[in-house]
């Protein structure tokens, strides 16, 4: 699956331990992790706020840039209504993916009408289990 990963999931993955870290690891190993330049920029700002030092932050951003598919920044935000303007750009960048994984309630709130499947990390984990079982 091609999965667009929102900044908050990546920040949680690299700023601590737990489900988001396991999920990103799984996506990199068995699926296609997709990000945009906006996500990389936001990640570079978010990690230091979580206590990650500058050198590690730069290394993480470089790692994600090297291992993920970085789609071009959209030329316009989606017309789909999302409360946060920045999320309209995220949604536009993710539109050609199979799913967008996020913990952002503004995006999760529009999941039923969005042009791409929007899932929280736990729901994506469950979906990946189903997809991988179907492959067997």
Residue 25 near residue 36 (C-beta atoms within 8 A): no
Question: Where in the chain are the domains?
Answer: 2-134
| Residue 13 pLDDT exceeds 90 | yes
* Reported pTM: 0.94
Report the alpha-carbon distance of residue 65 to residue 37 in Å, rounded.
9
2-134 CATH pick, 1.10.260.40, 3.30.70.1560, 3.40.50.1010, 3.30.160.150 = 3.40.50.1010
Tens-digit pLDDT profile for residues 35-78? 999 999 999 999 999 999 999 999 999 999 999 999 999 999 88
- Two tokens at 87? 């999320």
| Residue 135 pLDDT exceeds 90 | no
* Residues whose CB falls within 8 Å of the CB of residue 7, separated by 6 or more in sequence, listed in order: 39, 42, 43, 46
Percent of all residues in the chain with a pLDDT value above 90, rounded to a whole number: 85
For tokens 């737990």, the residue is 18
**What pLDDT does 79 receive?**
83
Would you call 45 exposed, middle or buried from its count of C-beta atoms within 10 A (0-12, 13-18, 19+)? Answer: exposed
| Residue 16 pLDDT exceeds 90 | no
């Amino acid at each position: 699956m091609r999965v667009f990963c929102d900044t908050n999931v990546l920040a949680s993955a690299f700023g601590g331990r737990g489900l988001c870290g396991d999920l990103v690891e799984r996506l990199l190993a068995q699926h296609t992790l997709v990000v945009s330049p906006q996500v990389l920029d936001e990640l570079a700002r978010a990690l230091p706020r979580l206590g990650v030092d500058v050198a590690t932050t730069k290394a993480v951003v470089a790692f994600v840039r090297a291992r993920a598919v970085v789609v071009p920044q959209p030329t316009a935000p989606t017309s789909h209504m999302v409360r946060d303007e920045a999320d309209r750009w995220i949604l536009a960048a993710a539109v050609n993916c199979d799913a967008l994984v996020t913990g952002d309630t503004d995006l999760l709130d529009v999941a039923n009408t969005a042009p791409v499947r929007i899932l929280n990390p736990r729901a994506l984990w469950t979906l990946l289990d189903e997809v991988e079982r179907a492959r067997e």
